[in-house]
Chains A and B, each alone.
Chain A
Amino acid sequence: MLLFGLFAAIGALIGRLAYVQGWQAAWLSNLAKQSWDRTVPLSGIRGSILASDGQPLTYTASAPTIVAVPSQIKDKAGTAAKLAPILHMSVDSVLRQISQRELMVYIRPGGRQMSEEQANAVRKLELPGIYLTEDGKRAYPYGSLAAQVLGITGYDNVGLTGLEKQYNSVLSGKKGGITFYAKANGELIPGEGQSVVEPTDGDNIKTTLNLQIQQFVEREIEQAVAAYHPDSVTAIVENPKTGAILAMANYPTFNPADWRSADPSTYNRNLAIWQTFEPGSTFKIVTLAAALQEDKVNLNDRFYDPGYYEVAGHRIRCWKAGGHGSESFLNVVENSCNPGFIALGERLGKESLFSYIRAFGFGQKTGIDLPGEGNGILFKLSQVGPLELATTAFGQGVSVTPIQQVMAVGAVANGGKLMKPYLVSEIIDPDTGRVVSVTKPTVVRQVISPQVAAEVRAALESVVANGSGTRAYREGYRIAGKTGTAQVAKNGRYEPGHYIVSFIGMAPANDPALVCYVAIDNPHPEHGIVFGGVIAAPIVGNILDDGLRELGVPPQTQGLKKKYRYPEVPPVTVPNFVGLTMKEAQNLALQNSANLRVQVLGQGDVIIAQAPAGGAQVEPGSTIRLYRGQKAPSTNQVAAFALGG
C-alpha cells in the first residue's frame, strides 16, 4: 500500500513532467530564449523630407555615436584609455561610464554625435563591446514651415505625426543590431557568438510641396492672423490636374525642432485634413454642378427671390433681407442666393443630390498620405426630409474637411475627375540618388462631365468678376471661386458670434493650374467690423496670383472683366447697423459678403448712427461710417438662420 502510494506520486510527477516538457515546451522555450536574448539596437541615418524642387525641408545630419556594452568590455581601463583621447574626455569619465551595470550605455558627452574622423578612429580600434550607431537630430532649415505636414519625430527618431509618421518605415530605414545570448548578468555566453546586423540608412521622400507657394501661403496666413486675430486658419493649395498638394498650412503652428514646448493640439492635429465644419456657401458649387449635370437648370433661367423660401411650412430666409427679387440662375450663383439653391436642391431631389455629394468625395476620407484625416458627417439619406435637403443644398447641416472641399472643387477645375490627394511624389535612395518609387496621380472617379465642369467654372469666374467674390479678382488671372461663411455648431447648437469665413478659388478659370482654399475660424477684426466677403477672398486672390507667377502661367486677356468697368455697376445694399452693439454689428458684417469698407468713429457700446443709412444702394467698395455712443436705442433683432457668403 505504501509502495503503491509512492509509485502513484512518482507517476503523477512523470505526468507533470510530460506536460511541462512536452505540451508546454514550445511556449516555455520561446520565453526562455527571450530572456537570454540581448539586442543592442543600431540605427542608420533617417531620410530627408524634400520640397518638390529637392530642397530639404527636414534632414538628419550624420552623427556617429558610440554604444558601449559594458558586460562585453573585459579590459575596461584599457578601453577607456584608448577612447578618451579620441572623444576629448578624461579617462576617468569614460571608465566610470563603461563600468555601469547596464546592457548598453552612451558615453556622454564625447561619445555622442561625433565627427566622421572620430568615428573612423574608434572603428579602427576594433574594441570589443564598443559599437557605432547614428544619433542625429532632425534639422529644419525653414523653421516652422509646413510643420504639421512634416510632423515630428520622438524618442529614437520615430515619426509621431505627419509625413514623419506616415512614411516612418521608409524614412527610418532598417534598424540593425547586435544580438547575443547572454548570461543573466549580461555577459556573452562563450562560444555562442553574436550576430551583428548593420543598419541601413532611410530613404529620402520628395514631397509635392512647392517651397515658394508654401511660403506665400504662410506669409498670407501670418498677415491674416495679425489683422483678424482668429482662433485658427487653414489653407491648402492643390494642383487639380494630379491631386498633388502644393501647399498646406495651418495656424496656430509650432516649431518642429522644439515641439515638446508647444501646445500638443498644434502638432497632433493637422486642421487642413482633420477639422470638420459646415462649409457654408462654398458647398453650393456641389449643388450647382449636380443640377447642371442632371440638366435641372439653365443658368439663363429666371428665378424670383422674395427674401425667403418656404419649405415644409418653414420660411428659410435669404441672407439678404428683402431678397434678391427677380434674377437669373447665374445671378443666383453670383449673389449666393439661398432660396435659389434650395430650389436647385428640390429639383434634384435628395437621392440625386446626396449621390453627387458622395461622388464628390464628401463623407469619406480622401486617402491623402497623412495620418489623422477626418471623415466628415452627412445626413443619413433616411433622415433627410425637405428641411435637411434645403439646408444641405446651400451648405448647412453637412460637415466636411478642408481637404474634401479642395478635392471636390479640384474635380470641377480639372474637367470632372475626383483625384486622390497626395503629398509624396518620389522615394529616393540617398546614396545613389536612384528613384525607388514614384507616385502616379490617381483618378477616384469621373463625377461630372468636362462640359458641366467648364460651365460651373464659368459661373464661378463670374462670381469673382461680378458677384460676392470680387475681392479675389486679379487682372489677367481669371480667378473663379466662391466665398463661404459658416456658423460653428457646438454641442448641437450654433455658437453665437462664432463664424468660419472661407473662400475657395481656382485659376485660370479656363484651365485651372491651381485650386486654393482658405478658412479663417472666428475672426476678430482689430478695428471692430469687417464684412465677411472681404476677409478670405483677397487672401486666396494673393496666393493664386503669386502661385501662378511662380508656376509661370501667363496672364490672359480673354477673361471676364470686372463689371464696374461698365456703366451699370450693380449696387450693393447697405445693412442697418443702428442700435446694434459692437459685437452684434461685427456678426452682421461677417455674414455679409458685400464688398464694403467700414469706418468706426467715436466711443461707446452701441452704434447710434450710420452713413449711408441702412437700405441705401451704394457702389461696391464704398465706405460706411458708423458712429458709436452710450445711448442704447431699442435693439433690433439680428436673425441669422440662413447665412450667405
Chain B
Amino acid sequence: MLRSMSASPKRTPGSSPDFTLIGVILLLLAFGVTMVHSASSIISATRFQDAFYFSKRQALWALMGVGLMIWLSRVDYHVWRRHAPKIALASYALLVLVLVVGVNRGGSKAWLGIGSLGIQPSEFAKLGLVMFLAHLLAESKDRMHSFWRGFVPPMGLALVAVGLIMLEPDLGQSVVIMGTTLIMLFVAGTRWSHLATLLGAGVVGFAGLVAIAPYRMDRIYAFLDPWKYPLGKGYQIIQSLYALGSGGILGLGLGQSRQKFLYLPEPQTDFIFSIVGEELGLLGTVSVLLLFAVLIWRGIRTALYAPDDFGTLLATGITGMIAVQVLINIGVVTGSIPATGITLPFISYGGSSLTLLLSGVGILLNISKQAGMVE
C-alpha cells in the first residue's frame, strides 16, 4: 500500500509536461552558470590563466544536460523499470571499478578518468539506485509490512552502495543516498518501527565510521564551535559565514565577492551558496531556496498524480534526491549541520552531477506528462 496515494487523478494521455518545473530548472541553470563564473573567476585565473575555465565547461554541460532532459522527457519512464536490474548492476560495477582504477582528487577516490573527462560513479549510482528501488518497492508493496521481506532488501541494497561509496570515501553522497532511500521507503509505506530499528543501527554505524576515520568526529567538533579552529577544521565554515555575513540583506553585488579571492576553498562547488549570499545577500539566498521549494513541490505533485506506483516512487526518489542534496548543502554552508561535502544541485560546478540531475528531471517530466495533470 502506498502512502499519499489517496488522490485519484484523472488521466489525459499525451498531455504536456510540467512547464513550471521546466521553468524553474532553466532559471536555476542560468543562475548556476552565472554564479559559477563569478565564484570561480579568480581560482580559474590563478590556476588556468583563464577566468572562464569553469563557467565555459559548466555552460556546455548545462546545454548537453538540457538536451538529455528533453530527450528523456519523451522516453516512456516504464523503460527504466524493465532495465532497472541491469542499471543497478552497472552502478555497483562502476562503484567497485572506481575503487580499483579511480583517480584520487582531494583525498577521495571518487572519479573515473576517461580522457580529459572525469565521471563520478556515485552520481550515476544515485539515479540507478533510485530506479531500482522504485521497481523493487512497487513489486513488493504487499510485503512492506514485513521487516525481513519488505524492509531489509531495499535497505540492504542501499547500504551496499553506501558502503562502497564510503570506501572512496565520500560522506556527502552516502548521506544523500541514505536520505533518498528513507524517503522512498517512507512513501512506500514501511513501518515506523522498522525505521526506528534502522536509526539505532545508524547510530552504531556512525560510531563505527568515526572509529575508522576519526577526522569525521573533528568535523562535528568544528561544527559545534568553528571559531575554536579558525585555521583548521573550522576554516571553511568560518569563511562561509564571513561570506554570508558580508553579503547582508542586499549583497555586495554580482561579481563583488571578496571571499572568492582564495579565502573560501572551492567556491564554485560545495560552497557556491556562500558566494551567492555574499554577492546577492539574503534576497538572493532566499530566492534560490524558494526556487528549490517550487521544484520540490512540483516533484511531489508529479509523484501524487503518477499513473502507477512505480511512477510515484520514481518521482519521489528523484525529487527526494534533489531535496536532500539541497538541504544538506545549504545546511553545511550556513553552519547548521556538520560539514559534508556535497554540491548544490543545478548551481554548483560539476558535469557528472549536472548531467545526472537533468536526466532525473527528464524522467520526472515524462512521469508528469503521463499523469496528465488536471488542475
Interface residues of A (CB under 8 A from B): 1-3, 6-7, 9-10, 12-14, 16-18, 20-22, 24-29, 31-33, 35-36, 181-185, 189
Q: Which 9 A-B pairs have the closest CB atoms?
A: A28-B245, A32-B242, A184-B262, A183-B261, A29-B246, A25-B248, A21-B282, A184-B263, A3-B300
Question: By the criterion CB–CB under 8 Å, are B289 and A13 in contact?
Answer: yes
Min Cβ gap A4→B in Å is 10
A26–B327 alpha-carbon span in the complex (Å): 26
A13–B331 alpha-carbon span in the complex (Å): 7
Question: By the criterion CB–CB under 8 Å, are A20 and B293 in contact?
Answer: no
A21–B282 alpha-carbon span in the complex (Å): 6
Q: Which of B244, B285, B326 contacts A28 (CB 8 A)?
A: B244
Min Cβ gap B142→A in Å is 22
Min Cβ gap B134→A in Å is 15
Q: List 26 A-B contacts (CB under 8 A).
A: A1-B3, A2-B300, A6-B296, A6-B323, A10-B327, A16-B334, A17-B286, A17-B289, A17-B330, A17-B334, A21-B245, A21-B247, A21-B248, A21-B282, A22-B248, A25-B245, A27-B245, A29-B242, A29-B245, A29-B248, A32-B245, A33-B246, A36-B258, A36-B261, A36-B263, A189-B261
Q: Does B16 contact A (CB under 8 A)?
A: no
Question: By the criterion CB–CB under 8 Å, are A189 and B248 in contact?
Answer: no
Question: By the criterion CB–CB under 8 Å, are B244 and A20 in contact?
Answer: yes
A13–B183 alpha-carbon span in the complex (Å): 19
Question: By the criterion CB–CB under 8 Å, are A7 and B293 in contact?
Answer: yes
Within 8 A of A (CB), among B6-27: none
Within 8 A of A (CB), among B279-313: 281-282, 285-286, 289, 292-293, 296-297, 300
Q: Does B249 contact A (CB under 8 A)?
A: yes
Question: By the criterion CB–CB under 8 Å, are B245 and A3 in contact?
Answer: no
Q: Does B186 contact A (CB under 8 A)?
A: yes
A486–B258 alpha-carbon span in the complex (Å): 69
Q: Beyond the given A6-B296, A7-B293, A9-B327, could you list 19 further A-B residue pairs with CB under 8 A, ordered by the A residue number?
A: A2-B183, A6-B300, A14-B286, A17-B282, A18-B286, A20-B334, A21-B245, A21-B249, A21-B285, A24-B245, A25-B246, A28-B246, A31-B242, A32-B243, A32-B246, A33-B246, A35-B263, A181-B258, A185-B262
Q: Bits for B42-53, please: 1 = Cβ < 8 Å to A, else 0.
A: 100000000000
Interface size on B (CB < 8 Å)?
41
Question: By the criterion CB–CB under 8 Å, are A3 and B246 in contact?
Answer: no
Q: Bits for B242-282, please: 1 = Cβ < 8 Å to A, else 0.
A: 11111111000000001101110000000000000100011
Contacts of A24 in B (CB 8 A): 241, 245
Question: By the criterion CB–CB under 8 Å, are B282 and A18 in contact?
Answer: yes
B326 closest partner in A (C-beta): A10
A230–B262 alpha-carbon span in the complex (Å): 65
Min Cβ gap A306→B in Å is 77
A34 closest partner in B (C-beta): B242
Q: Does B335 contact A (CB under 8 A)?
A: yes
A603–B243 alpha-carbon span in the complex (Å): 87
Q: Bits for B324-352, please: 1 = Cβ < 8 Å to A, else 0.
A: 00110011001110000000000000000
A19 closest partner in B (C-beta): B334
Min Cβ gap A179→B in Å is 15
Min Cβ gap B214→A in Å is 27
- Supposing A16-B334, A17-B277, A189-B261 touch, asked if A22 and B4 sit within 8 A by C-beta, the answer is no
Interface centre among B42, B261, B286, B300 (most CB of A within 10 A): B261
B246 closest partner in A (C-beta): A29
B230 closest partner in A (C-beta): A35
Question: By the criterion CB–CB under 8 Å, are A184 and B327 in contact?
Answer: no
Majority secondary structure of chain A interface residues (helix, strand, loop or mixed): helix
B248 closest partner in A (C-beta): A25
Interface centre among A9, A22, A182 (most CB of B within 10 A): A9
- Supposing A21-B277, A28-B241, A32-B242 touch, asked if A14 and B289 sit within 8 A by C-beta, the answer is yes
A22–B3 alpha-carbon span in the complex (Å): 40
Contacts of A18 in B (CB 8 A): 282, 286
Contacts of B243 in A (CB 8 A): 32
Contacts of A27 in B (CB 8 A): 245
A182 closest partner in B (C-beta): B261
Min Cβ gap B180→A in Å is 12
A22–B330 alpha-carbon span in the complex (Å): 17
Q: Does B164 contact A (CB under 8 A)?
A: no
A182–B42 alpha-carbon span in the complex (Å): 13
Min Cβ gap B294→A in Å is 11
Contacts of A28 in B (CB 8 A): 241-242, 244-246
Question: By the criterion CB–CB under 8 Å, are B293 and A22 in contact?
Answer: no
Contacts of B248 in A (CB 8 A): 21-22, 25, 29
Contacts of B296 in A (CB 8 A): 3, 6-7, 10
Interface centre among A20, A31, A185 (most CB of B within 10 A): A20
B331 closest partner in A (C-beta): A13
Question: By the criterion CB–CB under 8 Å, are A13 and B282 in contact?
Answer: no
Q: Does B187 contact A (CB under 8 A)?
A: yes
Question: By the criterion CB–CB under 8 Å, are A1 and B4 in contact?
Answer: yes
Q: Which of A6, A16, A189 contacts B258 (CB 8 A)?
A: A189
Contacts of B327 in A (CB 8 A): 6, 9-10, 13
Min Cβ gap A34→B in Å is 10
Min Cβ gap A358→B in Å is 52
- Supposing A183-B261, A184-B261, A189-B258 touch, asked if A13 and B249 sit within 8 A by C-beta, the answer is no
A36 closest partner in B (C-beta): B258
A13–B259 alpha-carbon span in the complex (Å): 21
Contacts of B263 in A (CB 8 A): 35-36, 183-184
Interface centre among B3, B281, B282 (most CB of A within 10 A): B282
Question: By the criterion CB–CB under 8 Å, are A10 and B293 in contact?
Answer: yes
Contacts of A22 in B (CB 8 A): 248-249, 282
Contacts of B259 in A (CB 8 A): 32
A6–B301 alpha-carbon span in the complex (Å): 13
A289–B262 alpha-carbon span in the complex (Å): 76
Min Cβ gap A101→B in Å is 14
